[in-house]
Amino acid sequence: SPNFRAYSLVDSSQVSTFLISILLIVYGSFRSLNMDFENQDKEKDNSSTTGSFNGNSTNNSIQTIDSTQALFLPIGASVSLLVMFFFFDSVQVVFTICTAVLATIAFAFLLLPMCQYLTRPCSPQNKISFGCCGRFTAAELLSFSLSVMLVLIWVLTGHWLLMDALAMGLCVAMIAFVRLPSLKVSCLLLSGLLIYDVFWVFFSAYIFNSNVMVKVATQPADNPLDVLSRKLHLGPNVGRDVPRLSLPGKLVFPSSTGSHFSMLGIGDIVMPGLLLCFVLRYDNYKKQANSDSCGTPGPGNISGRMQKVSYFHCTLIGYFVGLLTATVASRIHRAAQPALLYLVPFTLLPLLTMAYLKGDLRRMWSEPFHSKSSSSRFLEV
């Protein structure tokens, strides 16, 4: 019936959004875990050659969010949203250029494993010096060149598929390089962002007479080439036929009929993705701790089957169910929905319940990785 078709749960664009967002979270989490392994190996090498005091030099590129940053992040995001809402015409070119630069670096990071695989048989892994710019391997140069090429094509064409590719690179890079140190910080961050998302989607129209979140997310920006041609008076045929750009702050997929696009903001991927990255690291940490203690069993009131269920799989299933619930709600209400309103409860509540049943809640709540690293460093000194 027509009503059933109008409220069908998913279409091709929504299925694509589901699959891509889950793959990005899984891939970003495992890239983050692999970076931990590489840092541990570098720390061992440094401690064996130059002493243990230099062991933390490999972690300078990783940003860990503390409690204060988690509390003020929604406030900072709200200020940025208002600046984009009121002064978009004034800052759109600067914002577009900054976004393009960040997307270039992030997409190069996304392509790096593939480029390392392609260049391994034909070139050594020696780094090439570029003076003050630093030293880079052939794989890093190849990935950066491909990323620059893709950004240039996106600027010239404005195609949604290229914008999605850049958004994917941003998602993976943020999940890999930003860390949540504890479950307490995770709860503070996600709870604050839930309130932020709900307010700006549901209640901003009562104050600003417009849905601030939707307007900022869907507003296209002027193409920098068009602006440059007008500033330099290059003539009507130079740089004037380039399209306006939809910025890579979201994933968009067209429906099979082409009548609409399914859209998911990268914040709805990255923020739950940081939680999944945290639980994946904790699963690995707990596995190593159990192997060091010769397989000490869990609490006696928990079955062995329950102990085998990982926090990562539990939270990933919760993310999928929350995303599906958000999609159903948007189809029923025929309006944009704050995805974090559904994603945060469906990821945090099962995780907290499982951690309590397994007896890990106290350990996960307050920096479970800090005590191990600090004690081992003290013993080495």
pLDDT at 60: 56
Rounded to 10 deg, the angle between the 12-49 and 160-177 helix axes is: 40
Q: For 222-255, what is each residue's pLDDT tens digit?
A: 888 887 777 776 666 655 678 888 888 888 888 7
Beta strands in the chain (DSSP E): 63-64, 128-129, 135-136, 178-179, 250-254, 261-265
Q: Which of 11, 164, 226, 268 is catalytic?
A: 268
Please compute the mean of the pLDDT values over residues 315-324 and round it to a whole number: 93
Amino acid at position 266, single letter? I
**Of the given ranges (60-64, 125-129, 363-367), which has the lowest mean pLDDT?**
125-129
Cα–Cα distance between 251 and 243 in angstroms, integer?
19
Residue 188 clears pLDDT 90, i.e. is over it: yes
Contacts of 257 (CB under 8 A, 6+ apart): none
**Of the given ranges (58-62, 187-191, 344-348), which has the lowest mean pLDDT?**
58-62
The string of DSSP codes covering 224-275 is HHHHHHHHTT--TTSS-SPPPB--SSEEEEE-TTSS-EEEEETHHHHHHHHH
Kindly tell me the burial class for residue 118, based on how many C-beta atoms sit within 10 Å of its own C-beta (0-12, 13-18, 19 or more). Answer: middle
Residue 58 clears pLDDT 50, i.e. is over it: no
CA distances from 164 to 16, 81, 129, 248 (A): 12, 21, 32, 7
pLDDT at 148: 95
Q: For 83-140, what is each residue's pLDDT tens digit?
A: 999 998 888 888 888 999 999 999 999 999 999 888 887 766 677 777 777 788 888 8
Rg for the chain (alpha carbons), in Å? 23
Q: For 275-315, what is each residue's pLDDT tens digit?
A: 999 999 999 988 888 776 654 455 544 556 666 788 999 99
Told to judge if 241 belongs to the known catalytic residues of this protein, a careful annotator would answer no
Q: Which of 11, 197, 226, 360 is catalytic?
A: 197
SS3 214: helix
Told to judge if 268 belongs to the known catalytic residues of this protein, a careful annotator would answer yes
pLDDT at 239: 54
Strand partners of residue 53: none
Mean pLDDT of the chain: 82
Residue 375 clears pLDDT 50, i.e. is over it: no
Residue 152 clears pLDDT 50, i.e. is over it: yes
